[in-house]
Homo-oligomer: A and B are copies of this chain.
Amino acid sequence: MSPTDRWLPNTSYALLGLLSLGGELSGYDLKRWADASIRFFYWSPVQSQIYGELRRLARLGLVTSRRVEQTTRPAKTLFSISPAGGEELRRWLEEAPVEPLVLKHPVALRLFFGQSARPERLRELLEQYAAENEATIAALAMASNALTRSNAPSGPGLVAAWGEQIYGAEREAIRRALEGLPPGPA
Chain A positions near chain B (C-beta within 8 angstroms): 10, 13-14, 17, 20-21, 37-38, 40-43, 86, 89-90, 93-94, 98-118, 121, 125, 128-129, 132, 153-159, 161-163, 165-166, 168-170, 172-173, 176-177, 180-181
> Contact at A90–B116, with CB atoms within 8 Å?
yes
Q: Which of B90, B112, B121, B153 contacts A37 (CB 8 A)?
A: B112
> Contact at A101–B105, with CB atoms within 8 Å?
yes
How many subunits of this chain does the assembly comprise?
A: 2
8 closest residue pairs by CB, A with B:
A169-B169, A17-B113, A102-B104, A114-B155, A93-B117, A41-B108, A165-B173, A41-B105
Closest Cβ of chain B to A182, distance in Å, is 8
**A102-B43, A103-B166 as given contacts; A38 in contact with B121, CB under 8 Å:** no
Which residues of the partner chain B approach A21 to less than 8 Å between Cβ atoms?
Answer: 113, 115
Closest Cβ of chain B to A101, distance in Å, is 6
